[in-house]
Amino acid sequence: MSDAMKSVAIARMIERPNTKQFIRAIFDDFLEFHGDRLFADDGAVVGGIASLDGIPVTAIGIQKGHTLEENVNCNFGSPNPEGYRKALRLMKQAEKFHRPVVTFINTAGAFCGIGAEERGQGEAIARNLMEMSRLKTPIVSIFTGEGGSGGALALAVGDTVWMLEHGMYSVLSPEGFASILWRDSSRVAEAAELMKMTAKDLLENQVIDKIFAEPKEGLEKNLKFTTREIKKALLETIPELQKMELKELLEKRYQRFRKFGDFME
């Protein structure tokens, strides 16, 4: 198995720790909030306020389950528009109270059902991108597993973007890439290599800024191995971001993402 497909397989493991586990391991006193104040509460997105060694933060992430029942309740980690609107509501609240935002991303992509499209899935994602780009508080985004297309990007417009060793981030799945480009889903491993979707590739291409190692025995068996380093990095990074002048913070965030447009010109 290629390195890319190994990371894809590990990122998709049902035993892989989910957002609530990361939040509990990194923060104290997490208080979860519910609902988008427009339609419903989406179990695929969890969020609330917490404490990072005394620093108030807003933690938001895409939730997956470990059992069939859990996955049904969180729609297998594929948010509906109300999930993205809940995330935005919490981010705007964080902005109001000057709390930094930490997002956790692990999704195959936004839910593409008829109901989601009727309720404005594309608009909800686009609005998150726009609002996060100018949110007047620091944002740290962390990929803990899969990062699928706009469904992942909707929570990933951060001042700094981090990824676990076996995380992945791409415009679509390698299966979709192989089926669309070659009409041959059996070439999925080749597609995964070509897409440069692994943490190592993404760091080399400056899509992400930091990689966190995972334990050899598996993240699900030793979560503290990685969350200890994430917490340490957050304690170093968040105060530095908070010290920055707001104008400088927003300009650096803008330039961080604007450079990808420059690459394409």
Q: What is the arithmetic mean of pLDDT over 238-259?
A: 95
- Shortest CA distance to 210 belongs to which of 220, 224, 200? 200
Structure tokens at 215: 């334990």
- What pLDDT was estimated at residue 260? 78
Question: Whole-angstrom Cα distance, residue 162 to residue 164?
Answer: 7
Is 171 in a helix, a strand, or coil?
coil
Rounded distance between C-alpha atoms, residue 152 and residue 134, angstroms: 18
The tokens for 116 are: 């989601």
pLDDT tens digits, 96-108: 999 999 999 999 9
Q: Which domains are seen in the chain, by residue range?
A: 3-264 (3.90.226.10)
Write the secondary structure of 8-53 as one string of H (helix), E (strand) and C (coil): HHHHCCCCCCCHHHHHHHHCEEEEEECCCCCCCCCCCEEEEEEEEC
| Tokens 């030793």, residue located | 222
Render pLDDT for 195-216 as a digit per residue (tens, 0 to 9): 999 999 999 999 999 999 999 9
- pLDDT score for 108: 93
- Whole-number pLDDT of residue 264: 46
Place of tokens 């620093």: 55
Q: Name the pairing type of β-strands 101-107 and 139-147.
A: parallel
pLDDT, tens digit, 9 for 90 and up, residues 115-136? 999 999 999 999 999 999 999 9
> Does residue 13 have a pLDDT over 70?
yes
pLDDT above 70 for 61? yes
As a whole number of angstroms, the distance between CA 138 and CA 94 comes to 10
pLDDT band at 185 (very low <50, low <70, confident <90, very high): confident
